[in-house]
């Protein structure tokens, strides 16, 4: 597992993908602290690491990153940790457009394509 608080390159992320799942990397984005945890078998493992470092549950969103995919298609908002009826999110996706945009912006800031 790795927490990205600075930047990594797409080639680094591609290598990480190859080591675990082949074509994608599981990640959890902290939309408040603007960091991304990557490289674990489960989103919940990444979530736990961020919570241990002081993150708040309401700020953590699970995504999958597909380095070979073009444009915005490379970011998939799909994780069981996203199911939060108490926050108005009843699916594995990220239903709030503003939150999705924050996630996209943080990924763009932290991962150099």
pTM of the prediction? 0.95
Number of domains forming the structure of the chain: 1
Per-residue pLDDT, 111: 96
Per-residue pLDDT, 113: 85
Q: In this structure, are strands 25-30 and 60-65 parallel, antiparallel, or unpaired?
A: antiparallel
Using 50 as the pLDDT threshold, list the residues of the chain that sit under it. Answer: none
Per-residue pLDDT, 19: 83
Per-residue pLDDT, 55: 98
* Rg value, the chain, Cα: 13
CB 102 within 8 A of CB 31: yes
Q: Assign 113 to helix, strand or coil.
A: coil
DSSP symbol at 48: H
User: What is the enclosing helix (H) or strand (E) of 13?
Assistant: helix 10-20
Range of the domain at 39: 2-112
Per-residue pLDDT, 21: 86
As given in the structure block, the two tokens for residue 47 are 């979530």
Distance CA(13)–CA(49), nearest Å, equals: 19
Phi, psi at residue 32, to the nearest 5°? -85, -50
Distance CA(25)–CA(39), nearest Å, equals: 6
Per-residue pLDDT, 44: 98
Per-residue pLDDT, 102: 98
Q: Any idea how long the chain is? A: 113
């Amino acid at each position: 597992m790795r927490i990205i608080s600075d930047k990594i390159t797409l080639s680094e992320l591609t290598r990480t993908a190859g080591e675990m799942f082949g074509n994608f990397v599981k990640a959890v984005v902290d939309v408040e602290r603007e960091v991304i945890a990557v490289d674990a078998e489960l989103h919940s493992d990444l979530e736990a690491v961020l919570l241990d470092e002081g993150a708040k549950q309401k700020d953590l969103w699970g995504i999958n990153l597909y380095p070979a995919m073009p444009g915005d298609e490379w970011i998939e908002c799909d994780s069981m940790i996203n199911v939060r009826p108490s926050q108005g999110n009843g699916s594995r996706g990220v239903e709030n457009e503003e939150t999705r945009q924050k996630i996209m912006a943080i990924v763009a800031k932290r991962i150099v394509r």
